Amino acid sequence: MEIRIQSIHFDATVALEKFIQKKVAKLEQFYDDILEAEVILKVIKPETVLNKEALVKIKVSGNELFASKISDTFEESVDVSVEALQKQLLKFKEKNRAK
């Protein structure tokens, strides 16, 4: 699975990129046919407490799953987004099994 990370209006640290790679790669445990993942990191203006947004899109055979979360840190946003995608992947997998 190819993982692309895009940070808008700031430069993501190497540690943050490694964290994202590790978290998103874990999604393959839930579904084998993930083609690619795209993570977009954005700081929301004005500067408030909850201003770090992570949008995570994954492409699976013929579909695209998406989760977006806003929180205090990018790590937390990515973490919660990945958890949401795990649930979506499990539902998607069950749906495909039923066919």
Going from N- to C-terminal start, the domains of the chain cover 2-98
Q: What is the pLDDT of residue 82?
A: 96
CA distance 54 to 44: 10
Q: Looking at the predicted structure, is the pLDDT value of residue 19 above 70?
A: yes
Q: What is the pLDDT of residues 37-95, one digit of tens each?
A: 999 999 988 777 789 999 999 999 889 999 999 999 999 999 999 999 999 999 998 88
* DSSP result, 22-73: HHHHGGGGT-S-EEEEEEEEEEPSS--SS-EEEEEEEEETTEEEEEEEEESS
CA distance 83 to 80: 5
Fold entry, domain 2-98: Double Stranded RNA Binding Domain (3.30.160)
Q: Looking at the predicted structure, is the pLDDT value of residue 99 above 70?
A: no
Kind and range of the H or E run holding 3: strand 2-8
